[in-house]
């Protein structure tokens, strides 16, 4: 296994352990300048992940780090893109649908990705270059890499011509753009089933064959999507920008993503 992928797996498991320790307490919630919530789990997980990744040769873009100016970042050929707790709102709701996202990006393209779901001890791992992607359902946050591999099953997306078409979205408040997208599918004579999940688990639904398409017509940041894109790309699923009709790119001057669509090629 790729050495950097091993480091990312270890970092995600250790972060997941501390996240669940906070999850099981009466934690406080702060509101950041961008109006998004922050908990002790975000901070502690970020510290743990940084402690692992700082030992590699690559710099780190993390939601909870102070962002490096683009005048410096533009010279980074390879970097980590991290969200210590993706789905903090789900964490606060205590519904279990939050993740640890760690990706390694080279020349703007995700090449390695790890998504860990601490509440269920499920890990998704991908190496885009080798087209290897798997999930493993673990018994503990404290497991060896050998154990992770022994418990792994390969990810396999659905066939393209499925019916009904399972669309990843919100059951209760889909945007007008998403509703319009659903209507275009229905006009092709297909039925539509809406599948809902929090955080980067939406990408995992597509990669493991539990949904067909994920239209995201709302704001996201690079750390929300990099690991998910790596996992999807490794199994032949594209993450396409609504603006450029090309794959999403990373370490941009503006870390805000355009709208995008996740679907099999």
Question: Residue 173: what pLDDT?
Answer: 65
Which of 124, 154, 184 marks a domain boundary?
A: 154
Residue 174 shares a structural domain with residue 141: no
Question: Residue 139: what pLDDT?
Answer: 95
Residue 146 shares a structural domain with residue 248: no
Residue 229 shares a structural domain with residue 169: yes
Q: Is residue 159 part of a domain?
A: no
CATH, residue 145: 3.30.540.10
Question: Residue 35: what pLDDT?
Answer: 72
Enclosing domain of residue 253: 165-264
Which of 135, 154, 173 marks a domain boundary?
A: 154
Which of 154, 187, 214 marks a domain boundary?
A: 154
125 vs 191: CA distance, rounded Å:
32
* Vertex 260 angle, CA 128 and 110, to 5°: 20
Residue 126 shares a structural domain with residue 191: no
Question: Residue 74: what pLDDT?
Answer: 96
Residue 99 shares a structural domain with residue 207: no
Average pLDDT over residues 149-176: 86
Residue 46 shares a structural domain with residue 150: yes
Average pLDDT over residues 168-194: 86
Residue 99 shares a structural domain with residue 49: yes
Higher-confidence position of 161 and 197: 197
Q: Is residue 185 part of a domain?
A: yes
Give the number of domains in the chain. Answer: 2
Max avg pLDDT among 23-27, 83-87, 166-170: 83-87
Question: Residue 89: what pLDDT?
Answer: 87
CATH, residue 229: 3.40.190.80
SS3 of 111-168: the string is EEEEEEECCCCEEEEEECCCCEEEEEECCCCCCCHHHHHHCEEECCCCCCCCCCEEEE
Percent of the chain with pLDDT over 70: 98
Q: Is residue 160 part of a domain?
A: no
Residue 12 shares a structural domain with residue 128: yes
Residue 125 shares a structural domain with residue 170: no
Please name every residue paired with 61 in a beta bridge, in sequence order, or none if there are none. 81
Q: Considering the entire predicted model, what is its pTM? A: 0.95
Specify the DSSP element, H or E, that contains 57: none
């Amino acid at each position: 296994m790729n050495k950097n992928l091993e480091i990312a797996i270890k970092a995600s498991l250790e972060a997941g352990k501390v996240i669940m320790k906070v999850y099981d307490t009466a934690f406080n919630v702060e509101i950041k300048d961008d109006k998004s919530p922050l908990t002790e789990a975000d901070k502690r997980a970020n510290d743990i992940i940084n402690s692992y990744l700082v030992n590699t040769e690559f710099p780190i873009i993390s939601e909870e780090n102070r962002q490096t100016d683009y005048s410096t970042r533009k010279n980074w050929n390879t970097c980590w893109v991290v969200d210590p707790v993706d789905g903090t709102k789900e964490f606060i709701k205590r519904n279990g649908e939050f993740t640890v996202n760690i990706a390694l990006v080279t020349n703007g393209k995700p090449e390695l990705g790890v998504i860990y779901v601490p509440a269920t001890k499920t890990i998704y791992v991908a190496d885009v270059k080798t087209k290897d992607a798997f999930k493993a359902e673990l018994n503990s946050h404290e497991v060896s890499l050998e154990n992770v591999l022994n418990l792994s099953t390969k990810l396999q997306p659905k066939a393209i011509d499925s019916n009904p078409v399972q669309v990843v979205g919100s059951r209760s408040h889909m945007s007008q753009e998403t509703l319009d997208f659903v209507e275009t599918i229905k006009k092709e004579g297909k039925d539509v089933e809406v599948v809902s999940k929090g955080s980067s688990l939406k990408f995992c639904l597509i990669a493991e064959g539990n949904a067909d398409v994920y239209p995201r017509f709302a704001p996201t940041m690079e750390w929300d999507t990099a690991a998910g894109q790596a996992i999807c790309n490794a199994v032949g699923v594209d993450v396409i920008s609504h603006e450029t009709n090309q794959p999403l790119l990373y370490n941009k001057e503006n870390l805000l993503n355009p709208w995008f669509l996740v679907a099999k090629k």
